[in-house]
Amino acid sequence: MNKEEKHEVVLALAEQMKEYGNFYITDTSDLTVAKINDIRRKCFESDIKMQVTKNTLIRKAMEAVDGDFTQIYDVLKGSSSIMFSKSGTAPAKLIKELRKRGDKPVLKAAYIDTAVFVGDNQLDALVNLKSREQLIGEIVGLLQSPAKNVISALQSGGNILAGVVKTLQERG
């Protein structure tokens, strides 16, 4: 690969990092071509883009993008593949599913909406991670609940409240 081709790969990786906002770096070394093709097919089915590339090119792409990737630089050793996804949890779920049949791919690091997760021990946390939209929905639900309770109480007690006010007026 000549210098110009490497530069194009770096630019493409940097653009994907900006576009997707989420990426996982995994170790898929020692896997057969058939297993790698199976992983690629499952990635395609899950709307995940997977690319095997050199660690130095991944690092240069990170340096070209705004963000703090310093924790990830340490894991860029050995064979690395990078998975891009719009969903922060989809690659983690796919890796977990693939691990039921083997010990690879191994999670090296993940970058989800400016948060960095380093190490394979973070896989369970990433699988259970809620998306921004899910968290906003839960907050809206929690905020609506007390207001609904007050409105419901006022509606159901409206007749009683009117009766009490009428009785107080008649006494006075």
67-89: pLDDT as tens digits: 888 899 999 998 899 999 998 88
Domain 3-129 top-level CATH class: alpha beta
% of the chain with per-residue pLDDT over 70: 89
CB-based burial label for 163 (10 Å; 0-12, 13-18, 19+): exposed
Per-residue confidence (pLDDT) for residue 161, from 0 to 100: 64
Task: Taking residues 17-33, report their average pLDDT.
Answer: 90
Tell me the pLDDT tens digit for each residue of 82-124.
999 998 889 999 999 988 888 889 999 999 988 899 999 988 8
H or E segment and range at residue 116 = strand 115-118
Where in the chain are the domains?
Answer: 3-129, 133-171
CB atoms within 10 A of CB 61: 23
Tell me the pLDDT tens digit for each residue of 129-161.
877 777 788 788 877 777 776 666 666 655 666
